[in-house]
Structure 1
């Protein structure tokens, strides 16, 4: 009965989270009812839970893969049918392409005065022939597109035109500089909707320390509870002796520290570039890992690709550097067990380090001769938290869409190339999941929930310097070291 209750609670929270995610991210782009899309996504957990309740055994692998494939196909078909019906057949403007701004604007009309014929001369005067020689101006529903010939560096052109636009039009427009057809730079003037929102003159209060502390405290409680279970404390013993909860603190404090440092890396870098952003907020849950992680939200545009790169890479690198010493210490205090023996953590097999090049090398470096080809690792709770920190780093470094890795490749190679890289990364991860099945949920998550199109920086033309390109390649190399299994030749050499 207790296992039934646990499965039902887990299913309820998973269902609520999935429905909320669909309502927030998918309902705007498809007419398919959210409840129907939600039902398609819930096919696998419902199937697995039903099997476990009826037969009391682990779900067979064919049923796992079959339910995931059926769920994904049905979701994709319904989503695409609904998305195609969103387009207005009476729309006379051309289909948006790479020359139009990839930013979301409200559909309803806003009291922004368009550029009148008498003002076009003022607009043209903002572009000098020695900076950006303008050829023509196009008026679109979402932006004014200025096409011309760049005659100086991207940085200099953007700064000069921005100053001229502000002198002539004040803050009526947000100026975006990005590459259009044939990679020719274009300027876009997007109406500044924020200026006309209710409460004009009152800036939104982004930093809410009370809420941040409340969520942090709740997450400390839930992760401590799960940490005690990971440490081997039975739930019945906790209810009779609450002091046993203290055994969960090493896991809780380690995981919160790693996630907090990750988000503070984003937060502090964003503040350095004067990007308005919220404080880091943790997401507590009373099961699984004790938390769904933490997040910040940026409420102003990223000024350029340099800032986009720095803000994006700061989080994963900071989180990885925080995880590394904790993982080494945790491995040193872990126990080696026969590879067939089961762990208490999540009722899965003991960690086989050869599933990751990085984890295998760190495990061998820490445990030495204790680790051999027939040995797995029963992780210390601190090592569990650090291992999760490494996994979070890898997931965030995936070069897809709006993940940190997607921002990084966007900053390095530009928006169009980043989308191609995102397609390729999805495919490669899906292929890898047939070798290591634990990556299949990742692949499905990236395909169903992460958009390939990334938001442009205000100056999306000026490229990065060589130093940032180098660190970007190092981040991609780190991702490969985490997700790829240890080659058999190296495994035999290290006796893993």
Structure 2
């Protein structure tokens, strides 16, 4: 539903535009049926960003929204022979969507948060019992729920802190740029080892420019990654290596009728079985917390991994919570659709692309879409399940972009883009999850 329900007044629209820009041609777009103005790239006095902000405020009084874009070939054809590539911007005018400002109902947010809390605890309980807990320090505690409960609470709160602060980072960026947004919607996934697929927020306002879009996409992963690093460091600090002899002795106590040789063979099979792949940041922190060892797989380390190692390391639950946080952060940072990485990619590359002819019809292919398709292939390589989930959550490969899509991001944001890429590199699992998902 829109405020604007009357014919477009081209004269009034042109008056607003020409307060800041030189308008060369105006027409009704044959595809979108919206007023389109071809304007010179150089504004009259201000820079492009300030000039656009000025007309944005003026159009708000008319219940209209301007979109500043690179002109298409069809739009340039409207100028005929006078068209010079790279000389014009396209300014599309659309009705302003009606903003129904109502008291926010957070009942659904609370219900999903509670469901996710239960889901995370349930998945953690299943995981630590059947898959990956330290047997010497934890298996003896499973007989008592009161001894197990602190472990589950620590794990669950770590996961929810990583995800919750990630979304609060997005909210902070939105509030900084005066863009309305919802509270986080957590997504429960009652299956080990994750327990959740993260959280999302609903953005209720339009993004003005690429700087704002970049900030909204970056702040969440940046905050989430910093929290994850803290959780990971604490988890690795609490992780205690177990000698293989103690582990084999413990397994002999649990299974007294099995020969020791068979138990040792079982331990060797355990250590050579495919495990959840680690992220590069684990390998970076290994020498700090476990000097003298090399990473072998998710559970065990050894200087001679082909043989039965002298020391086995079972990660503390907080370290595994950090692994889950890193995985969800890495997936969300891939530059696809409207994921966080999609926002950043769209902000950095804009609508840069090239045009190809398909059956005589010119089709424009943007660079961010090509990068997005490559990212989607990587996601499906890691896990087809995650690939389908990403397709649903990202709402397709396209991204609408900000209102002003021609002003590039600032220099300091280009620096933060390299930080963004570094976080992806440190968080991405070095292997596939096909065995597990």
TM-score relative to the length of structure 2: 0.71
Q: Does 1:151 align with 2:42?
A: yes
How far apart are residue 416 of structure 1 and its match? 3.5
More deviation in 466-475 or 332-341? 332-341
How far apart are residue 359 of structure 1 and its match? 2.2
| 2:113 equivalent in structure 1 | 216
| 1:492 equivalent in structure 2 | none
Q: Deviations over 1:433-484 (max 9, x none)?
A: 7xxx635555566578742211121112211111001101221132133337
1:269, 1:129 → 2: CA distance?
31
Q: Deviations over 1:26-54 (max 9, x none)?
A: xxxxxxxxxxxxxxxxxxxxxxxxxxxxx
More deviation in 378-387 or 209-218? 209-218
1:442, 1:223 → 2: CA distance?
18
Alignment of 1:327-366 (within 5 A): 327-334=232-239, 342=270, 349-351=274-276, 353=278, 356-366=279-289
**Structure 2 contact 23–37 (Cα < 8 Å) conserved:** no
Alignment of 1:336-485 (within 5 A): 342=270, 349-351=274-276, 353=278, 356-371=279-294, 372=302, 374=305, 377-417=313-353, 419-424=366-371, 426-427=373-374, 430=377, 438-439=382-383, 441-442=385-386, 450=394, 451-483=396-428, 485=430
Q: Deviations over 1:185-220 (max 9, x none)?
A: 21111122426xxxxxx5233x33443333323322
Partner SS state of residue 284, structure 1:
strand
1:130, 1:303 → 2: CA distance?
17
| 1:282 equivalent in structure 2 | 186
1:394, 1:342 → 2: CA distance?
27
| 1:192 equivalent in structure 2 | 96
RMSD between aligned alpha carbons? 3.5
Residues 120 and 247 (structure 1), Cα distance of their counterparts in 2 relative to 1, 3 Å cut? closer
Q: Does 1:113 align with 2:113?
A: no
Residues 336 and 143 (structure 1), Cα distance of their counterparts in 2 relative to 1, 3 Å cut? farther
| 1:249 equivalent in structure 2 | 153
**Structure 2 contact 349–367 (Cα < 8 Å) conserved:** no
Q: Does 1:203 align with 2:94?
A: no
**Structure 1 contact 283–292 (Cα < 8 Å) conserved:** yes
Alignment of 1:86-235 (within 5 A): 112-115=5-8, 119-128=9-18, 131-140=21-30, 141-152=32-43, 153-167=47-61, 170-171=62-63, 173-181=64-72, 184-194=88-98, 203-205=101-103, 207-232=104-129
**Structure 1 contact 227–247 (Cα < 8 Å) conserved:** no
TM-score relative to the length of structure 1: 0.63
2:281, 2:94 → 1: CA distance?
45
Alignment of 1:33-72 (within 5 A): none
Structure with more helix by fraction: 1
2:222, 2:334 → 1: CA distance?
13
Consecutive unaligned residues in structure 2, runs of 5 or more:
73-84, 132-139, 245-266, 295-301, 354-364, 432-437
| 1:9 equivalent in structure 2 | none
| 2:260 equivalent in structure 1 | none
Q: Deviations over 1:274-321 (max 9, x none)?
A: 111110121234333222221110011111111111111000011000
| 1:316 equivalent in structure 2 | 221
Residues 133 and 386 (structure 1), Cα distance of their counterparts in 2 relative to 1, 3 Å cut? same
Q: Deviations over 1:201-250 (max 9, x none)?
A: x5233x3344333332332222222223333389xx99996534443111
**Structure 1 contact 127–134 (Cα < 8 Å) conserved:** no
1:407, 1:485 → 2: CA distance?
24
Residues 114 and 362 (structure 1), Cα distance of their counterparts in 2 relative to 1, 3 Å cut? farther
How far apart are residue 123 of structure 1 and its match? 1.9
Work out which structure has the larger RCO, using CA pairs closer than 8 Å and 6 or more positions apart in sequence: 2
Q: How many residues are paired up?
A: 356
Instruction: Tell me which structure has the larger Cα radius of gyration.
Output: 2
